[in-house]
Amino acid sequence: MAYYNNKREPVPEVETSIWSCTSDDCSGWMRENYSFDKEPACPLCKAEMEKEVRTLPKLD
């Protein structure tokens, strides 16, 4: 059995609601919990965003 090291536990991942940029050229996204607007604009390109679910490292 191999371990990365003893100091770091693996971060558990959870399905998380996010906003994803609708622009094909842009990879902008943000966690839904971190957006304050009901329908936020992309922080990178100001395009519309749509809801999506991604598996992301859990935040405490």
Q: With respect to Zn ion, which residue has the nearer C-beta, 26 or 56?
A: 26
Q: Which of 16, 20, 35, 44 binds Zn ion (CB under 5 A)?
A: 44
Site string for Zn ion, 3-32 (x = CB under 5 A): ------------------x-x--x-x----
State in angstroms the smallest separation of the CB of 11 from Zn ion.
26
Annotate 22-48 with DSSP letters as a single string: --TT---EEEGGG--SSSPBPTTT--B
Side by side, the strands of the sheet bearing 49-57 are 29-31, 13-21, 49-57
